[in-house]
Amino acid sequence: MEELAKASGISRPTLSKYFEDPRSVRVSTRQRIEAALELSDYQPNVYARNLNRKRTRNIGILVPHMTDPFYAALVARLERQCAAEGYWPIVISSHGSPESEERAMALLQSAKAAGLILAPLGHGRLGEIVAGLRGDIPIVYCDVAADDEHPVVRTDNVQSIDVMVDYLCRTGAPPAYFEVPDVNSNSRERRAAYIDAMERFGEEPRFIGAVRLNDWDLEQSAYEAMLAALDASSLPYQTILCNNDRTAMGVLAAAFKRRVSVGRRKGNTLRIAGHDDQPLARYTCPPLTTMAQDLDGMAERSVSMLLGMIGDEHPDRIRQPVGNVILPAQLIMRQSA
């Protein structure tokens, strides 16, 4: 950078300011710097710059599974939001393992992350680890929370399940609830919300499938459980509400295997609905009726709140105030229910 300063006639502090945020220098100065960069092919070393800073431009992002379509879509939005704010996202998956989650937290700390956006498993020691940081690193939970001490941005599970149960009860037989492996607190909240909603509508809650702890192979679990249910009875239910879209896909596959017709058209045997509106939900056969979570809102508000906690108050941006953000979901009506 010293050589670039001499070659361009621009002071090193001004260059440093430019690399921190190009909009922070005058337009004429920015043009001179960019002309010098083009001639010299200078590229700043982000690793070296981070070593020289008390606070890096890294944002750590931890999710349970990158192969899960919901988390993959959420991470894509978080990455874009961080990049737009001038931060470098470091994304790590815990692969559904509490031990991997602990190692990921240690790695993010060693990387001197300026802040963390965490989607915890909910059954490991992450809450204890976060508490041990004693506020050294700003943290925002996204989708689920591991404690009540840090802000969370998430979907309103009570609202989303209530809307879906209302829709299914108004348009056909009341739904039975397809049990899902207990992978995080969303599983338990949606199950409880289903019970409450059915009781409000004067209907008896009914359940299908078996619960297994921390089994992230959701499609296979649902497929096997649905096959067993179809083979063991004469199908005493006409509508099934699944905890999430991945479970619904397994249920759809089992119904196809046993030649059970699915859809809301007259003459079909079964209606199936999901939750999340993951990217593949519209391409199932039939297309899946589901509740769409506000992924754009979750990503934007998580990053905005975290940067406000870090202290990055860009004059052109209004930061999300610190506090829990509970976002409503939207009913997406397709042909499956």
pTM of this prediction? 0.82
The string of pLDDT tens digits covering residues 214-262 is 577 889 989 999 999 999 877 788 999 999 999 999 999 999 999 999 9
Structural domain count, the chain: 3
Quick one: 64 and 77 in the same domain? yes
Residues whose CB is less than 8 angstroms from the CB of residue 196 and which lie 6 or more positions away in sequence, other chains included: 158, 162
Q: Are 179 and 244 within one domain?
A: yes
Do residues 176 and 81 both lie within one domain? no
Show the tokens assigned to 174: 């009341």
Q: Are residues 92 and 125 in the same domain?
A: yes
Determine the Cα–Cα distance for residues 186 and 72; give it in Å rounded to an integer: 17
Poorest-pLDDT segment among 172-181, 212-221, 304-313:
212-221
Rounded Cα–Cα distance for residues 56 and 249 (Å) = 42
Which of 149, 153, 107, 151 lies closest to 128 in space, CA to CA?
149
Q: Are residues 145 and 66 in the same domain?
A: yes
pLDDT at 132: 84
Cα–Cα distance measured from residue 195 to residue 193, given in angstroms and rounded to the nearest whole number: 5
Q: What is the DSSP letter of 207?
A: E
Q: What's the rounded Cα separation, in Å, for the pair 211 and 216?
A: 12
Whether 272 and 319 share a structural domain: no
CATH of the domain at 191: 3.40.50.2300
> 200-203: which pairs have CB atoms within 8 A and are 24 or more residues apart?
200/162, 201/165, 201/166, 201/169, 201/174, 203/169, 203/174
Q: Which domain holds residue 281?
A: 157-292
Helix runs in 201-274, H state only: 218-232, 245-257
What does the pLDDT look like over 8-34, one tens digit per residue?
888 988 988 888 778 788 898 988 888
